[in-house]
Chains A and B, each alone.
Chain A
Amino acid sequence: SAVISQKPSRDICQRGTSLTIQCQVDSQVTMMFWYRQQPGQSLTLIATANQGSEATYESGFVIDKFPISRPNLTFSTLTVSNMSPEDSSIYLCSATTGGPNTEAFFGQGTRLTVV
């Protein structure tokens, strides 16, 4: 298993600003992901964070809006850029310790409110 810590746990931000969310895993993991959960909705994958290379984004998400870094096997960041109220969501980091089709673990999420 893996324990995932996210910081901050919540924040209230002004529109037009940016917020960087950090995700730290307590052990080396093979894959890391970022999801978004809009109010009242289920989780949607934003991107796969690739170690040492550019993240792989899902349709509808772009690097300029959601730049992601993954400098090593235990750490990743997601930045929400030029925020608008529509970005108000819970952002969740996830990781798998094995290869494809292995169990996924999640952080406690970052609750973002943009005013």
Chain B
Amino acid sequence: KQEVTQIPAALSVPEGENLVLNCSFTDSAIYNLQWFRQDPGKGLTSLLLIQSSQREQTSGRLNASLDKSSGRSTLYIAASQPGDSATYLCAAPNQAGTALIFGKGTTLSVSS
């Protein structure tokens, strides 16, 4: 059964810093992995979907990598801004490839 773990649980950085969020998963037979952003009390915004055939996916200041063999993904945020403050969730498909299994998230706080 797929399990997804995210570290750290919380992170506080000053504005402008580059940072890395980590995600690990137990079942490496995945077709993709997805990163989301969640603002307090709100729904999820899809940030990046990285397919198993890709090693990296980029969108603006965000870069996600995927290493299936080691069961790890990272989300790199460049030049962080206060507006980046949110909870970041990573999710891998369940065995059927239908619904998602989520990690507990990393809550990021960027101070100005």
A-side interface residues toward B, CB under 8 Å? 6, 31, 33, 41-45, 48, 90, 92, 94, 96, 100-101, 103-109, 111
Is A106 a contact partner of B36 (Cβ separation < 8 A)?
yes
Is B93 a contact partner of A101 (Cβ separation < 8 A)?
yes
Taking a contact as CB atoms closer than 8 A, the residue among A31, A43, A48 that contacts B102 in the complex is A43
Give the docked Cα–Cα distance between A5 and B32 (Å): 25
Residues of B with C-beta under 8 A to A6: 43
Is A104 a contact partner of B43 (Cβ separation < 8 A)?
no
Q: What number of residue pairs across chains A and B have CB atoms under 8 A from each other?
A: 61
Taking a contact as CB atoms closer than 8 A, the residue among B44, B93, B94 that contacts A92 in the complex is B44
Give the docked Cα–Cα distance between A106 and B36 (Å): 10
User: How would you classify the secondary structure of chain A's contact residues: helix, strand, loop or mixed?
Assistant: strand
Residues of B with C-beta under 8 A to A111: 41
Residues of B with C-beta under 8 A to A31: 98
Is B89 a contact partner of A42 (Cβ separation < 8 A)?
yes
With A48-B99, A111-B41: A100-B93 Cβ-Cβ less than 8 Å: yes
Give the docked Cα–Cα distance between A101 and B103 (Å): 17
Q: Size range of the interface on B?
A: 20 to 34
B4 to chain A: closest residue by CB = A42
Question: Which B69-107 residues have a C-beta within 8 angstroms of A?
Answer: 89, 91, 93-94, 96-105
Residues of A with C-beta under 8 A to B105: 42
With A90-B41, A92-B44: A100-B98 Cβ-Cβ less than 8 Å: yes
Residues of B with C-beta under 8 A to A96: 98
A31 to chain B: closest residue by CB = B98
1/0 contact trace for B41-68 toward A, CB 8 Å?
A: 1111110010000000000000000000
Is B42 a contact partner of A42 (Cβ separation < 8 A)?
no
Kindly provide the distance from the CB of B49 to the nearest chain A CB, expressed in whole angstroms: 5
Is A92 a contact partner of B104 (Cβ separation < 8 A)?
no
Residues of A with C-beta under 8 A to B32: 101, 103
Give the docked Cα–Cα distance between A44 and B104 (Å): 10
Task: Return the 4 tightest CB-CB contacts between A and B, nearest first.
Answer: A100-B97, A101-B31, A108-B43, A106-B44
